[in-house]
Amino acid sequence: MSINMKHRKHIKVYTTYVIHEAQKNHDVELRRSCESPVTPMNMAPEVPAILVLGPPLVFKAYESDFSQKFNFLKPWEKPIPLQQFISTHSSTVKAIFCSAVSPVTSDIIQSLPELRFVLASSTGVNHIDLRECKRRGIVVANAGSTFSEDVADMAVGLLIDVLRRISAGNRFVKSGVWRREGDYPLAHKLSGKQVGIVGLGSIGLDIATRLKAMGCIISYTSRTMKPHVTFPFYPTIHQLVANCKILIISCALTEETRHMIDREVMLVLGKEGIIVNIARGAIINEKELIECLVKGEIGGAGLDVFENEPNFPQELFPLDNVVLTPHHGAVTEEACRDLYDHVCKNLHAFLANKSLECEVDM
């Protein structure tokens, strides 16, 4: 055999060996990849899911911005019942972001074994089962004082509207009645009025500050007396209402405050008395409020919230001494942007296991 033939034979044998070894190594690697669990080295870790309930108005306004930063689950995009949607994603949901009108019930909480955080887009958290959250060790946070100034402005605006009959005057002009009937009925001034505030938190204090500057006489009731506040404090609603003609409600809705403003309170307020509610509708016994207003047993009301939203008591529509707004006290462009920043900051903090802002005391 020639040297060239031997050389070619050796090359062929070597090449076959190399191909065989390469195939064997490939098979080993393939088998390892099938048997080994996925690790962060070969696949990105799963991003924690945040369930959105509502959705909150701020989410609608900034949905594209939110979606670039977080992994949101949006039940309204799927044609299945909410509970079925939640069951489908139960193992991945770490947090809930909810609106003020979307209940976070014990059933929802129990359906989410990995849930660790509930963030409300509102200041009030009466729609969240706090007892179940506490039992599970789930942290709850709210919007804090994000809306305080805007809601205080709404409270003052409603009060001025009722006293000065601004909305009624607008209808009087636009309907042509002014041209036909002449002078508009007399209204009432704001300064000098005795105003009782129910709940002197950040919103209540902002209301008090504004009305004091307008010449009103302020007093308040709250869960506790505020040590650095100089306004007169009354420990009960009945003591407060006996010393004022205007009642502004800015407290939280709890079992203790539900229907706290009832017929008895309204009758003490009297025929010149005015109620303004920018807190939660169920703090007032709405049925008894309607009855007192229709009968003229109180002087008027400015209502931004209702007991069964979005249902409005239509009996109040014809009354010129009643001003109604669609739970819009906190809704300004500026507040919405501030809330977006607040939500982003809190969700980033939660995902990074850092301290949260505006945690709710449970």
Is 280 in the active site?
yes
- The neighbouring-strand residues paired with 323 are 302
pLDDT at 33: 40
* CB 248 within 8 Å of CB 276: yes
Whether residue 326 is predicted with pLDDT greater than 60 in this model: the reply is: yes
Whether residue 98 is predicted with pLDDT greater than 60 in this model: the reply is: yes
Is 164 in the active site?
no
* CB 53 within 8 Å of CB 99: yes
Mean pLDDT of 249-277: 96
Alpha carbons 34 and 69: distance in angstroms, whole number: 32
Whether residue 95 is predicted with pLDDT greater than 80 in this model: the reply is: yes
Nearest to 148, CA basis, from 74, 94, 205, 105: 205
Which of 127, 165, 327, 342 does the annotation list as catalytic? 327
Residue position matching structure tokens 């931004």: 304
Nearest to 329, CA basis, from 195, 194, 161, 98: 161
pLDDT at 23: 53
Helix axes 202-213, 148-164, angle to 10 degrees: 50
Which of 132, 291, 307, 309 does the annotation list as catalytic? 309
Q: What is the pLDDT of residues 336-362, one digit of tens each?
A: 999 999 999 999 999 999 999 999 998
Which of 127, 149, 165, 280 does the annotation list as catalytic? 280
Is 127 in the active site?
no
* CB 98 within 8 Å of CB 104: yes
Whether residue 70 is predicted with pLDDT greater than 80 in this model: the reply is: yes
Q: How many CA atoms lie within 13 A of 148 on its CB side?
A: 18
